[in-house]
Amino acid sequence: MWRYLLAWLPLVLIAIANGVFREKYFANRLRELQAHQASTVTLLILFGIYIWLVVRIWKPESAQQAFFIGLIWLVLTVAFEFLFGHFVAGHSWGRLLNDYNILAGRVWILILIWVAMAPFVFYQLSK
How does pLDDT run across 57-96, given as a tens digit for each residue?
999 999 999 999 999 999 999 999 999 999 998 989 999 9
Structural contact between residues 8 and 73, judged by C-beta atoms closer than 8 angstroms: yes
How does pLDDT run across 4-47, given as a tens digit for each residue?
999 999 999 999 999 999 999 999 999 999 999 999 999 999 99
Residues in Cβ contact with 99 at an 8 Å cutoff, skipping those fewer than 6 apart = 36, 106, 108, 109
Structural contact between residues 110 and 101, judged by C-beta atoms closer than 8 angstroms: no
